[in-house]
Structure formats: C-alpha cells, structure tokens
C-alpha cells in the first residue's frame, strides 16, 4: 500500500506559483548590473497564499566565476517565508549546473535562473529537482 501512496503523492499536480512583475524586473536589473558576475538572491512569498513571490532579498556581494555555486548553504536563513533562490548566469544558458541542482535539492522549492541577455524571455523557473515549472507574472 505504501508504494501506491507514494506514487499518488508524486503525481500530484505542480503548485501554482506566481511572481509580482516588480520582483521579476528587479531580478533582471540585478542580473544586468552584476554582469559579468553573477548575482544571487532569495525569493520571499506573501504570508497569505504562500505561493506568490512578492520580494527578492538580494544577497550581499557578487562572486565571479562560472561554477554557479554562488550560494553557501550556511549563509542561507531558516525563514519560512523564503521559498527558494534566484541567481543569474552570464551566459545565454539558463539551465541549472550540477552545483545549482545540488543547491535546489537542499534548499527551497522554487528557483529562478536569469540568463544573458537578461530580458523577459531569458529566465526560467525550476523546482527542487531541477524540472522546469510554470510561474505566472502578476
């Protein structure tokens, strides 16, 4: 029976995530101004629906390099209004790196990668397992 229960949980439809347009604009601006370095931030949701990203908390300092391992887990707060991470890639490749996937798996439920050239079409959203998920801009 436990096998069936587990399968049912995994087949559950994905969460309906939303992000405020001003948060997305801020992400794109930070990605642009940090280029050619990466920037990193945390995604905060509203207290009511807990599925709408209403704030981007920019992590201080940028780290150059192309490893994308820009988050250190010990830096990340235990804060239940934080649902995930955002960072930029200085290349047009918005796919998560191995280091990104390791982070996604350990921290948060939703992760945004903004890639070059940093516009409305050059970012993607992933779940904890690195699968691309849909998000509505509100």
Which helix (H) or strand (E) segment is 25 a member of? helix 21-34
Catalytic residue from among 9, 29, 38, 132: 38
Among all residues, whose Cβ is closest to Zn ion?
68
CB of 21 to Zn ion, least distance (A): 23
Measured torsion, CA atoms of residues 66, 71, 74, 78, in degrees rounded to the nearest 10: -170
Q: Which residues bind Zn ion (CB under 5 A)?
A: 68, 97, 100
Say if residues 104 and 96 touch (Cβ distance below 8 Å): yes
Residues forming a β-bridge with 87: 40, 113
Closest to Zn ion by CB, 57 vs 63, is 63
3-state secondary structure of 7: helix
Closest to Zn ion by CB, 100 vs 127, is 100
CB of 11 to Zn ion, least distance (A): 29
Q: Is 9 a catalytic residue?
A: no
Catalytic residues: 38
């Amino acid at each position: 029976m436990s096998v069936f229960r587990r399968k049912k949980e995994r087949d559950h439809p994905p969460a309906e995530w939303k992000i405020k347009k001003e948060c997305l604009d801020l992400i794109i601006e930070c990605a642009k101004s940090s280029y050619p370095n990466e920037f990193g931030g945390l995604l905060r949701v509203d207290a009511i629906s807990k599925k709408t990203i209403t704030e981007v908390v920019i992590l201080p300092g940028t780290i150059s390099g192309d490893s994308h391992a820009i988050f250190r887990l010990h830096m990340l707060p235990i804060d239940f209004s934080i649902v995930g991470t955002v960072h930029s890639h200085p290349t047009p490749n918005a796919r998560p790196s191995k280091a990104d996937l390791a982070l996604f798996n350990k921290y948060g439920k939703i992760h945004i990668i903004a890639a070059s050239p940093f516009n409305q079409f050059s970012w993607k959203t992933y779940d904890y397992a690195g699968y691309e998920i849909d998000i509505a801009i509100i």
